[in-house]
Structure 1
Amino acid sequence: MSRPLCLLFDCDGTLVDSEPLLATEMATSLTAAGLPFRAEDYMGGFRGARFRHIVAELEAQYGKVDPDHLESLETTMRANLNHRLATDLVPIAGAPEALAALSSFPMGVVSNGPENKVRTSLNTVGLSETFGNSLFSGYTANCWKPDPCLYLHAASIMGFAAEDCIAIDDAIVGVQAALAAGMTVVHLNRFPDAEETPEGAHMITSMYQLPTVIGRLRKERERRVAHA
């Protein structure tokens, strides 16, 4: 009998359509801090990146911001974002259906965002029970994508080796992290005209496709094991 597979999902942009809300709040806060930033900047080049990484990139262009002022703005930004996540958030199209079809697999969420943000997001769209406490935040593990350590941390806590995990992530930083961790990776590429799927990852353009792809990957894995 082949070993079971664990499915590890990114949150923002993969399960929930939070990125437009995040981009808007981030643009407001960063611009107020003297770091010019537009919502489309996030969607264009920073999707999935840690907030402090984005700040560092902007400070390299526009100059340093007082750390206390920045911390206050970040606190306000996250409070405003959590309010919007609790009221305005919707799931990514096809995500609830895909999770229902894959409910026999062990599943976890692996996010660069704070755990309370992940919980708020999943609660709002009715996906909390699907994952229970299997939520893994970069802020809790103290490591962030594209470093593979966050995905490896999640796999370890879930009780799986990296090669027994399939990571599903929409952001390039997440895809890179999971590939570096030695996992099978499904890239939810919702912008195929503008974004290229990294070599080694399996591309889908809609979460409705995910159950079929997972089924195929599981069969391929079982064939490899049988002939090993």
Structure 2
Amino acid sequence: MRPLCLLFDCDGTLVDSEPLLADEMASSLNAVGLPFDAGDYIGEFRGARFRHIVAELERRHGAVDASRLEPLEREMRANLNRRLATDLKPIEGATEALATLSNIPMGVVSNGPETKIRTSLQATGLDELFGDCLFSAYDAQCWKPDPCIYLHAASIMGFAAADCVAIDDSLVGIQAALAAGMTVIHLNRFPDAEETPEGAIGITSMFQLPTVIARLSQPRVMVN
């Protein structure tokens, strides 16, 4: 029976944190002279590592004093965590889908720091479903689209990559999970603007997830 393990992205897949993140990024980046609008994150950089975004903006607009970047990121994340704790909501359908799938081992695999993952899950009441199965790229020191973060999570949870299903909304996450050799479900909440990559299964709502997982869990028919 498959799958044996479900690995969820966090931002944009389980919790609706991206508007808050984009707003805080815009405030911080504009403060150091890097032009950035909240819509730029959703449109171009969704799921990307903060330092990757900074590097790309510096390439376009000129370098920022390197000594300002660490305190800038630290302050941005502190402001974001405060807002996550009070304003964050789960993605529509996520609570219901996870309740239905709670008999399958589950983990969270995110490009964000573990403190942000924990804050997000606690604020939305999803934390008990995952326990300590939280995998941050900052701890693994590899970021999506590198597959190593998904491979790291599968290994720690004791599953082969082929026995895992990754559920992710961002293209960098889809690329990482496909490269890891996992079955991949793309939560495409913007189907008019974004296509599901080849090799991934597309859904437009988390309400659809249990049906897809049930289909994947059917025993394979062996043909002689």
Both structures adopt the same fold (TM-score exceeding 0.5): yes
Deviation of residue 67 (structure 1)? 1.4
Paired residues of 2:10 and 2:110 also in contact (CA < 8 A): yes
Measure the CA separation in 2 of the matches of 1:227 and 1:126: 45
Deviation digits for residues 116-174 of structure 1, max 9, x if unmatched?
00000000000110000000000000000000000000000000000000000000000
Name the structure 1 match of 2:19: 20
Deviation digits for residues 34-60 of structure 1, max 9, x if unmatched?
110000000001000000000010000
Measure the CA separation in 1 of the matches of 2:2 and 2:172: 28
Paired residues of 2:93 and 2:206 also in contact (CA < 8 A): yes
Paired residues of 2:3 and 2:217 also in contact (CA < 8 A): no
Measure the CA separation in 1 of the matches of 2:43 and 2:32: 21
Measure the CA separation in 2 of the matches of 1:114 and 1:135: 10
Name the structure 2 match of 1:45: 44
Name the structure 1 match of 2:32: 33
Q: In the comparison of the two structures, how many residue pairs are matched? A: 224
Deviation of residue 76 (structure 1)? 0.8
Measure the CA separation in 2 of the matches of 1:70 and 1:50: 14
Name the structure 1 match of 2:7: 8
Deviation of residue 192 (structure 1)? 0.2
Alignment of 1:83-98 (within 5 A): 83-98=82-97
The alignment status of 1:223 with 2:220, answered yes or no, reads yes
Instruction: Look up the equivalent residue of 1:223 and give its one-letter code.
Output: R
User: Which runs of at least 4 in structure 1 moved beyond 2 Å after TM superposition?
Assistant: none
Name the structure 2 match of 1:122: 121
Name the structure 2 match of 1:164: 163
Measure the CA separation in 1 of the matches of 2:66 and 2:108: 30
Query: What secondary structure is seen at the aligned counterpart in 1 of 2:19?
Result: helix
Unmatched segments (≥5 aa) in structure 1: none
Instruction: Look up the equivalent residue of 1:179 and give its one-letter code.
Output: L
Measure the CA separation in 2 of the matches of 1:179 and 1:39: 28
Name the structure 2 match of 1:155: 154
Instruction: Look up the equivalent residue of 1:195 and give its one-letter code.
Output: E
Measure the CA separation in 2 of the matches of 1:163 and 1:184: 7
Measure the CA separation in 2 of the matches of 1:96 and 1:10: 14
Name the structure 2 match of 1:57: 56
Q: Percent identity?
A: 75
Deviation of residue 71 (structure 1)? 1.3
Name the structure 1 match of 2:145: 146
Deviation digits for residues 43-99 of structure 1, max 9, x if unmatched?
001000000000010000111111111211111100000000000000000000000
The alignment status of 1:206 with 2:181, answered yes or no, reads no
Instruction: Look up the equivalent residue of 2:197 and give its one-letter code.
Output: P
Name the structure 2 match of 1:134: 133
Measure the CA separation in 2 of the matches of 1:14 and 1:20: 13
Measure the CA separation in 1 of the matches of 2:106 and 2:69: 35
Q: Please, what TM-score do these two structures have when normalized by structure 2?
A: 0.98
Q: Please, what TM-score do these two structures have when normalized by structure 1?
A: 0.96
Deviation of residue 199 (structure 1)? 0.1
Name the structure 1 match of 2:175: 176
Query: What secondary structure is seen at the aligned counterpart in 2 of 1:223?
Result: coil
Deviation of residue 105 (structure 1)? 0.2
Deviation of residue 4 (structure 1)? 5.6
Deviation of residue 227 (structure 1)? 4.3
Query: What secondary structure is seen at the aligned counterpart in 2 of 1:109?
Result: strand
Query: What secondary structure is seen at the aligned counterpart in 1 of 2:216?
Result: helix
